[in-house]
Amino acid sequence: MSDEKLALLGGSPINSEPWPESNTIGEEEKKAVMAVLDSGVLSGFRAVPGEDFYGGPQVRGLESEWSAYFGASHSVSFNSLTSGLFAAVGASRIGPGDEVIVSPYTMAASVTCVVAYGGIPVFADLDPESYCLDPASIEERITPRTKAIVIVHLFGYPADMDRIMDIASRHHLTVIEDCAQAPAGQYRGRYVGTIGHIGGFSLNRHKTIQAGEGGMMITEDPELALRMQLIRNHGEVTVEAFGLEDVANTFGGNTRMTEMEAAVAREQLKKLDGLNQARITLAQHLDTCLAEVPGIEPQRVQHADDKHVYYLYTMHYDEAVVGLPRDLFVEAVRAEGVELRQGYVKPIYLEPMFQQKRAFSKGQFPFASEFHDANVSYDKGICPVTEAAYDHELIFGSFVRWPLTEAHMDQVADAFKKVIANRDALLAAKAK
């Protein structure tokens, strides 16, 4: 392979055919949607006390089946996990001046859900192995104002929940688990999302199972479940009927799931185990293929009872060992017809809202107000592990997924090996 010219330099690519997309929608989902259309009931919700407050038969059926799958006492559906996270923060009674510890390396909604209620996100750094929040960094960030932690099980890998729950218990903090990328992932044999106080899952079209959009929240606490239901469905005009004395954060809107989405999600839930196993099988094969590739270290499962469900296949890139700048390596691999990306998302605290501490049209609320003295730092350097991953060390792909095969994984490995074998030619060409 070393004598093959790189595609980036005019040679033939390892792969010249587009890989098949992952379309998990089949006849089952089509029949389920048609049944809803035939019923004429596309949404069963009404913003009044009574059975219709909880939605129609498909929504309630999905919530029941979701609870049964995860062994949860309560499931609450939403039109998106973003809405679910906003409701979880509201149900946890976060308010102006309260601090919530969050991940800097995630979809922004895992952070802005805090700002929406006047809370202040405090960014902890990542564990370099899991890319989830580092418990030691969490504890360093706790102050008397801290009220909650939003954990993100990133890339399909579980965070260190035993240590996190110990910290939360000692400091009386609510733990919200964002499991968007880790549906049915496990930590020490327990499903992520069932360990904290509230767990959330995404049914967005990019996820392992999907309903186009949609989100599911689970909890063992009946009051948290009720408060999320109120926020989902205009709680400001229904809260009195439920007898809650503390009505703070129970105002809501329409963040309800439709009957068609729920019908699709019910069929997709049946496929979750098989789709996850396909990802795990491909990841294990690719692990073997890359075992002897210098400077590329795939993410490893750290405990026998943990279950990584590989929403993304991530690797640590050692530029000094590979001998190529990371971005040039990625460019060369992509030219070989293999999807590869680097860096994931820019650390959220470096985005303009946090750099300017400006979320609303007047003043710097919630970052500076009568409730807080604006001493939370969003300066570059506050999360060095995160910044190193973004700037230099992380490469990843979404290629461990159905309907791809082990032959596709072989192409990934072959592309990596080809680029490294032709390193000198690539560097020489770029130096001209």
Q: Where are the domains of the chain?
A: 28-271
Q: How many CB atoms lie within 10 A of CB 252?
A: 25
313-317 vs 394-397, strand pairing mode: antiparallel
Range with lowest mean pLDDT among 236-245, 329-338, 412-421:
236-245
Report cis status (omega within 30 of 0) of the bond before 366. yes
Rounded mean pLDDT, 234-256: 95
DSSP annotation of 328 = H
120/137 Cα distance (integer angstroms): 17
CB-neighbour burial class of residue 128 (10 A; exposed 0-12, middle 13-18, buried 19+): middle
pLDDT above 80 (res 62) = yes
Please tell me the predicted confidence (pLDDT) of residue 173. Answer: 98
DSSP annotation of 239 = G
pLDDT above 60 (res 3) = no
pLDDT above 90 (res 432) = no
Asked if 325 and 319 touch (Cβ cutoff 8 Å), the reply is yes
CB-neighbour burial class of residue 432 (10 A; exposed 0-12, middle 13-18, buried 19+): exposed
pLDDT above 50 (res 25) = yes
Please provide the size of the chain in residues: 432
245/265 Cα distance (integer angstroms): 35
Give pLDDT tens digits for 387-408: 999 999 999 999 999 999 999 9
Give pLDDT tens digits for 331-383: 999 999 999 999 999 999 999 999 999 999 998 999 988 887 768 999 999 99
Percentage of residues of the chain with pLDDT beyond 90: 96
Percentage of residues of the chain with pLDDT beyond 70: 99
Q: How many CB atoms lie within 10 A of CB 48?
A: 12
| Residue 150 host element (H or E) | strand 146-152
Give pLDDT tens digits for 174-198: 999 999 999 999 999 999 999 999 9
* CA angle, 246 then 234 then 357, to 5°: 75
| Strand order, beta sheet including 174-178 | 74-78, 215-219, 198-202, 174-178, 146-152, 99-102, 120-123
Q: Which CATH number applies to 28-271: 3.40.190.150, 3.20.20.150, 3.40.50.1100, 3.40.640.10?
A: 3.40.640.10
Non-local (6+) Cβ contacts of 194 within 8 A are 70, 71, 72, 218
Give pLDDT tens digits for 253-262: 999 999 999 9
Please tell me the predicted confidence (pLDDT) of residue 374. Answer: 66
Non-local (6+) Cβ contacts of 416 within 8 A are 290, 293, 296, 333
Asked if 329 and 317 touch (Cβ cutoff 8 Å), the reply is yes
